[in-house]
Chain A
Amino acid sequence: MSVLVRLRTPVVASVLGLAILALGLSALGYDAFSALTALARGAIGSWYAFTSATLVRAVPLIVIGLGIAISFRAGGLNIGAEGQFSAGAMAATAVGLVVGRWPGFVAIPVVLIAGTLAGAAWVVVPVVLRLRYRVQEVISTLLLNFVAEALVSFMVQGPLQESKRTYPQSDPIAVAARLPLLPGTRLHLGFALAVLLAGLVGIVFSRTIWGFRLKVVGAAPRAAEVTGRMDVDRTTALALLWSGAFAGLAGALEVAGVTYALFLNLSPGYGFTAIAVALIARLNPIGILFAGLGFGALEAGAAGMQRDAGVPAVAVSVVQATIIVVALLAVARARLARPEAAA
């Protein structure tokens, strides 16, 4: 598929989504033009807006989206990235609070690894339930999101609460554990890591036996077992653990690069938006990079729209929803058009 053909669906979807948003805003009596201008300004209006709003929001979407792509490719439907993100954020905070005496090049990796491991650990229960009792991970991972939310709530009012004991939030993590920023912006090193990971996952998918196994196990488990002699359960389980690890890493990056502390509702639904990001990109890692940027821009623009035009930020969900629907329709159409096997 040429680049132009690949870009057709997302471009059409975005234009359509923005048009529907404009129509809706006009119908409700808002000034659609100034609202959309505010949206654009908030996302790409200045270098600062682009780096500090759009790119910063794109980081968790890209990193989580890559993990989602790994699990979906293998047929494991992990929709609990939101909870795994929180688990990663909690672990990163807990570790980040105690590494103050260490140099940054040690403290930062330790914090990120803690988050990654915690994210993977949050998927262990769904994986065990799937392997032992054939419990659908769609349900178990989703339900664990609520457990994670409750656990964060407990942490910020208990063990991890700030030393003043006033607000339900943690103390700021040690300076040594914070990610370096691009001078003059709030863009942290996590963005470079996200780009690197996208390239890495792209290579794993297209050039390694492990990437091929994921694809085969997801596409046809019977053939994977009988002809490919693959261990389907093991492959799916590993894919699920990796997707949790990516979401946990995203949580750690958010704490170490953006908030420096743990509090409730740290994520504005990154774990769910990232599923849309991965699906729109058809689980292609480079596509996820760009889809993550696009959705990051929408999230950043939404904040600008609320600030400058008085339009509630949630209105931008209309655009996101339209993009998702159009993208799914395009996938469905491609599937219908494909010639089926002559049995």
Chain B
Amino acid sequence: MSRVLELESISKRFGSVAALESVSFDLVLGEVHGLLGENGAGKSTLMHVAFGMIAADAGRVIVRGVPTRFRSPRDAKRLGVGMVHQHFTSVPEMTVAENLWLAAGRYGAEAGRRSDSSTVTTAGSRLRRRLWEGLAPNDIVSSLPVGAKQRLEILQALAVGGDILLLDEPTAVLAPQETSELLALLRDFANGGGAVVLITHKLTEVFSIVDRVTVLRAGRVQSTGPVAGQTVSGLTAAMVGTADREPTVETSDSLGPVLARVDGLAVRGREVVGVAAIEGNGQRDLLRRMAGVLPAAGAEVIEPVAFIPEDRSTEGLIPALSLTENWVLGLAGDARWRRGPLLDWRAAEARMDQVLGEYSIRAGGPQAPAGTLSGGNQQKLIFARALEAAPRVIVAENPTRGLDVHATWFVQERLRRAAAAGAAVVVYSSDLDEVLSLATRLVVISRRRVLQVPPGASREAIGAMMIGATS
């Protein structure tokens, strides 16, 4: 067993968030190594370090026994490391061959050409020949089916010729048939002397082709070892954490009437419904339909509805505009400053000034641009604005993402209080801990379907519902 890629004690911080904390990882020739974890666990960050896209704050990258410093992916490619990213990187308007030339840069001599099938020796070229099935050099990429595009991505990753392949959720966009074909190709690549890292959410993939599996959670390695002997519940527990605190799933008999109903999700007054889901299962669309941000046929929602978007600086606020303008952005109909078509900016500014005090928002005054506020203060402003209209329904999307402990507490407290006062609250968070600590009732959204989590369900059971291991 020769180690081709070793990551030693890699640490990486983004601002105040530790994405990776002393993570070690190794890859040997001939294996498919699964990398599991929730959203934000650090899987992609770790592979970006291995591919030279991100420089680690601490730790070493060792390729084939030689410590290296990657300044860019170009260095990684030169040493035979290729990566397939979460999103397609090919240029849709160009041909297959042109994309391969692009990917190869100045190292690729044989890129863009079908490799000669008569002298297949290495794993790379054998894989390449199978990847070419159904592709022609002159095909325009935008005309290709999704599976062919994904095969092109792999060809691009191997365009320089390499035997280490890092794949970031390569099957997320594929149909079941395409998925099994791709997995078979990867297995064959590894058997022929290559090495593969497969980032995935799907446990079925892990059990079908992976040799060893490493589980990351909150930037740390939870477990690593051969997949043989592992169980679904064991891996799920490693992903979502052991049950140090029982889920607060409970039914209350003092619930109010149903205030919002859309696509099989009904929410009553005085309850906080936590939505647990893995990214890309349709939970965002569902929440936005409930909040009236996206059109929803057949939705029954009692106004007023408040929506807290995850992305504060592009959807919740306009950084270049003043606090008062941002205040009016979400409260344009308020009779205190709106008279027909006219806006009374003084009245709005006076109220904004009061709110800064009431919510202890640290700002240079109502005229300050919203972009000058810290993330926590921006979120306080968004909450103050959302609660100003006394909403009957509150829909929040990752409301504490990127916030420090104090601001997180503030946000969760406000949501609880709003529910206690009779509002229907729906919170989606990619952090299962947050969902569990906030929610009075839990639902899982998997493949666009709303699944009710039975009261008292274990963390493992919830995790299994999220990844679709049970149906």
Contact = CB atoms under 8 A, between A and B. Distances in A.
Given A210-B341, A220-B314, A223-B318, A339 B372 contact: yes
A212 interface: yes
Interface stretch (A4-12, A79-87, A191-199, A226-234): A226-234
Nearest to B329: A228
Contacts of A225: 293
Contacts of A339: 369, 371-372
B46 to A, nearest CB: 22
B319 interface: yes
A209 interface: yes
A212 B332 CA distance: 9
B317 A223 contact: yes
B309 A342 contact: no
Contacts of A207: 342-343, 345
Contact of A342 (B329, B332, B342, B374): B374
A343 B316 contact: no
Contact of A343 (B307, B321, B375): B375
A223 B316 CA distance: 6
Contact of B320 (A206, A212, A219): A219
Interface string B361-379: 0000000011111110000
Interface in A216-255: 216, 219-220, 222-229
Nearest to A339: B372
B358 interface: no
A333 B318 CA distance: 20
Given A226-B309, A343-B375, A208 B329 contact: no
A222 B369 contact: no
Contact of A209 (B332, B372, B375): B332
B48 interface: no
Contact of A220 (B318, B373, B402): B318
Interface in A116-134: none
A216 B292 CA distance: 19
B328 interface: yes
B341 A342 contact: no
A338 interface: yes
A222 B315 CA distance: 5
A219 B318 CA distance: 7
B315 A216 contact: no
B448 interface: no
B371 A341 contact: yes
B349 interface: no
Interface in B329-362: 329-330, 332, 338, 341-343, 345
Given A207-B343, A340-B371, A341-B371, A228 B338 contact: no
Contact of B341 (A208, A227, A229): A208
Main secondary structure on chain A at its contact with chain B? helix
Q: Which of B318, B371, B373 has the most CB of A within 10 A?
A: B318
B321 A342 contact: no
Given A212-B328, A220-B318, A226 B293 contact: yes
Contacts of B320: 219-220, 338
A216 B293 contact: no
Interface string B93-119: 000000000000000000000000000
Nearest to B320: A219
B179 interface: no
A90 B321 CA distance: 41
Contacts of B374: 342
Interface in A306-343: 338-343
B9 interface: no
Contacts of A226: 293, 307, 309, 315-316
A343 B313 contact: yes
A222 B341 contact: no
Contact of B332 (A223, A228, A338, A341): A228
Contacts of B329: 216, 223-224, 227-228
Contacts of A206: 345
A209 B369 CA distance: 20
A343 B307 CA distance: 20
A233 B257 CA distance: 37
A341 B319 contact: yes
A226 to B, nearest CB: 4
A342 B293 contact: no
A207 B341 CA distance: 9
Interface in B294-317: 307, 309, 311, 313-317
A223 B292 contact: no
B309 A209 contact: no
Contacts of A341: 313, 319, 370-372
B377 to A, nearest CB: 9
Q: Which of A222, A223, A226 has the most CB of B within 10 A?
A: A223
Contacts of B341: 208-210
A89 B395 CA distance: 53
Contacts of A216: 318, 321, 325, 329
B369 A223 contact: no
Nearest to A203: B342
9 contacts: A208-B343, A210-B341, A219-B320, A220-B314, A226-B307, A338-B371, A339-B372, A340-B319, A341-B313
Given A220-B320, A338-B371, A341-B319, 17 more contacts: A207-B345, A208-B341, A209-B332, A209-B338, A209-B342, A216-B318, A216-B329, A219-B321, A220-B321, A223-B316, A223-B317, A223-B318, A226-B315, A227-B329, A228-B332, A340-B371, A343-B402
Interface of A: 206-210, 212, 215-216, 219-220, 222-229, 338-343
Which 10 pairs show the lowest CB-CB distances between chains A and B?
A: A341-B371, A341-B319, A220-B318, A226-B315, A341-B313, A208-B341, A228-B329, A222-B314, A227-B330, A223-B318
